[in-house]
């Protein structure tokens, strides 16, 4: 039964094990999932040799992987989706399989059209923090699919934080979480480059910037705290923090960050149409 797919049967197939598929597999293995119970598929099998050596099942055969699994995580790129769905549709069992799509810009309705209306589909939008169980994953299902959502949640709860959202917010979740991790990485990189210019070795600057970013995030996540309240605690009148902060804002830091989120959300919404056209 779909609702028991993750917890009881526990066999997972990740169809299209590229960047995010491999990161998910790595994160699941770091939780309580046995690598042997996770099958990874892709066409270039040699790219999965490292994970095969760690005990994951690997194959180029999507149909065999579907037959052997209860939970199917679909992780190909949008332009590769139609071919994959056509391949697996004949062997899908709606009573048994739970389909989880991490694909940007493809709706549940579009996937169900390709796979059959009775198939249970959940959308998930993780980020690459999933490999170290630090993903922020947003999940959505159609009304009436609450049991499918309940079955998918433990999978992602095991590899980070989760938030259930409306499906129409998925493009926004893509921008803020999946693309967002790159924005924060660039911010850390920029901070470390500043650190090098003021005297640190690159390795030291990177450590100082990354650990400082981790501390800032932890202050908020372990809160309750608000970014502005925490900023007020480190800005003394005529001090060195406020002068740096104001310089960032004169140069458009907040505006640039907000515009990046908006641009990515707009693109995420149109990705599937653009690629399948
Ligand atoms: N990267 C992220 O941070 C992230 C985060 C959230 C969501 N997503 C979404 O996840 C999806 C994958 O992104 P990605 O960055 O992981 O892309 P990717 O690295 O290109 O991974 C896609 C994988 O699918 C495989 N593939 C393609 N066609 C296949 C088929 N017919 N059967 C089996 N495997 C097939 C490809 O390998 P072969 O060529 O060897 O087959 C490739 O490794 C995208 O839709 C993206 O929007 C990505």
Residue 149, both tokens: 């959502």
> In this predicted model, what pLDDT tens digit does every residue of 5-54 receive, in sequence order?
444 447 999 999 999 999 999 999 999 899 999 999 999 999 999 999 99
Residue 65, both tokens: 């992987």
What is the CA 266 to chain-centroid distance, rounded?
Answer: 18
Q: How close is the Cα of 272 to the center of ligand 1, in Å?
A: 13
Residue 14 CA neighbour count, 13 Å, CB half: 27
The predicted pLDDT at position 273 comes to: 62
The predicted pLDDT at position 172 comes to: 97
The predicted pLDDT at position 103 comes to: 96
> In this predicted model, what pLDDT tens digit does every residue of 188-231 receive, in sequence order?
999 999 999 999 999 999 999 999 999 999 999 998 889 999 99
Q: How close is the Cα of 250 to the center of ligand 1, in Å?
A: 39
Q: How close is the Cα of 92 to the center of ligand 1, in Å?
A: 20
Q: Examine the pLDDT at 277 and tell me if it is beyond 60.
A: no
Q: What is the mean pLDDT of the chain?
A: 93
Contacts of 193 (CB under 8 A, 6+ apart): 205
2 pLDDT tier (thresholds 50, 70, 90): low
- Report the nearest-CA residue for atom 47 of ligand 1: 104
Q: Helices marked H in 101-143 — which ranges? A: 108-115
Q: Examine the pLDDT at 232 and tell me if it is beyond 80.
A: yes
- Report the nearest-CA residue for atom 37 of ligand 1: 42
Pocket of ligand 1 (CB under 6 A): 15-16, 18-21, 41-44, 47, 62, 75-78, 80, 83-84, 102-104, 125-128, 178
Q: How close is the Cα of 90 to the center of ligand 1, in Å?
A: 22
Q: Examine the pLDDT at 1 and tell me if it is beyond 70.
A: no
Pairing of strands 160-164, 98-101: unpaired
Q: How close is the Cα of 15 to the center of ligand 1, in Å?
A: 8
- The closest-lying atom of ligand 1 relative to the alpha carbon of residue 178 is 5
- Report the nearest-CA residue for atom 25 of ligand 1: 16
Portion of the chain with pLDDT greater than 70, in percent: 95
Q: Which of 37, 43, 7 is nearest to 25 (CA)?
A: 37
| pTM, to two decimals | 0.93
The predicted pLDDT at position 9 comes to: 42
76/126 Cα distance (integer angstroms): 14
What is the CA 216 to chain-centroid distance, rounded?
Answer: 21
3-state helix, strand, coil in the chain (%, to 5): 60, 15, 25
Give the CA distances from residue 228 to residues 138, 176, 211, 233, in Å, rounded to whole numbers and listed in that order. 25, 19, 20, 9
Pairing of strands 135-140, 120-125: antiparallel
């Amino acid at each position: 039964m779909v609702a028991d797919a993750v917890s009881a049967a526990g066999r997972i197939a990740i169809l299209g094990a590229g960047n995010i598929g491999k990161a998910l597999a790595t994160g699941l293995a770091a939780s309580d999932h046995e690598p042997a119970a996770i099958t990874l598929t892709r066409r270039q099998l040699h790219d999965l040799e490292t994970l095969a050596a760690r005990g994951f099942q690997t194959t180029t055969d999507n149909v065999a992987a579907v037959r052997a699994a209860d939970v199917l995580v679909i992780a190909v790129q949008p332009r590769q989706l139609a071919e994959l769905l056509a391949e697996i549709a004949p062997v899908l069992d709606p009573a048994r399989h739970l389909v989880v799509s991490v694909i940007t810009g493809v709706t549940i309705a579009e996937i169900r059209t390709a796979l059959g209306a009775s198939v249970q589909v959940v959308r998930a939008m993780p980020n690459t923090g999933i490999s170290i169980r630090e993903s922020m994953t947003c999940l959505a299902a159609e009304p009436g699919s609450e049991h499918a959502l309940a079955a998918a949640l433990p999978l992602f709860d095991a590899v980070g934080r989760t938030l259930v959202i409306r499906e129409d917010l998925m493009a926004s979740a893509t921008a803020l979480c999946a693309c967002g991790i790159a924005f924060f990485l660039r911010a850390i990189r920029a901070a470390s480059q500043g650190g090098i210019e003021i005297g640190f070795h690159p390795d030291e600057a990177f450590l100082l910037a990354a650990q400082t970013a981790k501390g800032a995030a932890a202050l908020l996540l372990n809160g309750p705290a608000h970014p502005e309240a925490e900023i007020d605690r480190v800005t003394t009148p005529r001090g060195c923090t406020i002068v740096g902060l104001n310089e960032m804002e004169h140069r458009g830091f907040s505006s640039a960050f907000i515009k990046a989120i908006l641009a990515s959300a707009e693109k995420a919404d149109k990705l599937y149409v653009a690629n399948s056209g």
